[in-house]
Amino acid sequence: MKNQMRWVLLLILPLLFASPSKIRASSVGEEKKTDVSVRIREPSIYLKEVIPPTFNRYPVKQTDIELQADRDLVIEVVDNRSGKNGWKLDYSLSAFKNEQEYATKLSMKNGRLATEETTVYQVNDIENISNGETQELVRVSQGTKQTFRLVIPKESIKLNVPANSPSGTYKAIQTVNLVNVVADVD
């Protein structure tokens, strides 16, 4: 009887190990096949366009000089929301670099915000912003489904360059942050 049991076990064990893979394989092949649809949507509020101001070449001087921009600052915001939350634009500027960092200051004034509908907003002047500093440029009090276009004319954008700055090409990074402003709840 023991020998018969051994033979039965020897025959059954290989079948147990072989069967699950066949069962698994057949169930995988029988899965329902459905289409998958992926859609990336635009956010409800976003920066559509940011055009930074630029500055021309200038001669190195022994005194501080003030340069006027040769291109307007343009920022376009699309707001597809409606409700009590507003938004703001914060502006910051990195140090101007040419192998080393140089302390410059940037001022931008007389910005105009074009809107499609009547909206409560405030455009602020940027006064002598320097490396690592952030200043609020625009604040809109409520989300309204429209596009906003901020233009600061090149004549109102001034860069103060320190005396005896070495010649060369200087680069800085402008950062414009669009921030959701939660409405005050009474």
- Does 48 have pLDDT greater than 70? yes
Q: What is the pLDDT of residues 76-107, one digit of tens each?
A: 999 998 888 899 999 999 988 887 787 889 99
Can you tell me the mean pLDDT for 149-157? 98
| Residue with the larger pLDDT of the pair 177 and 145 | 177
Q: Please state the rounded mean pLDDT for residues 39-45.
A: 86
At residue 128, φ and ψ (nearest 5 deg) are: 50, 50
pLDDT computed for residue 12 by the predictor: 62
How much is the pLDDT for 152? 98
Q: Residue 87 is which amino acid?
A: W
pLDDT value at 174 more than 80: yes
**pLDDT at residue 129 above 70?**
yes
pTM listed for this prediction: 0.74
Question: What confidence score (pLDDT) does residue 103 get?
Answer: 81
> Which pLDDT score is estimated for 2?
60
- What pLDDT is recorded for position 143? 76
pLDDT tens-digit series, residues 54-63: 998 888 788 8
Give yes or no for residue 23 having a pLDDT over 70: no
Task: Report the alpha-carbon distance of residue 82 to residue 144 in Å, rounded.
Answer: 5
* DSSP H or E segment with residue 16: helix 2-29
41: confidence class by pLDDT, cuts 50, 70, 90:
confident
pLDDT of 186 > 70? The answer is: no
Q: How many Cα atoms are found within 13 Å in the side-chain-facing hemisphere of 125?
A: 9
Listed by start position, the domains of the chain span 45-180
CATH number belonging to domain 45-180: 2.60.120
Neighbours of 138 (CB within 10 A): 21
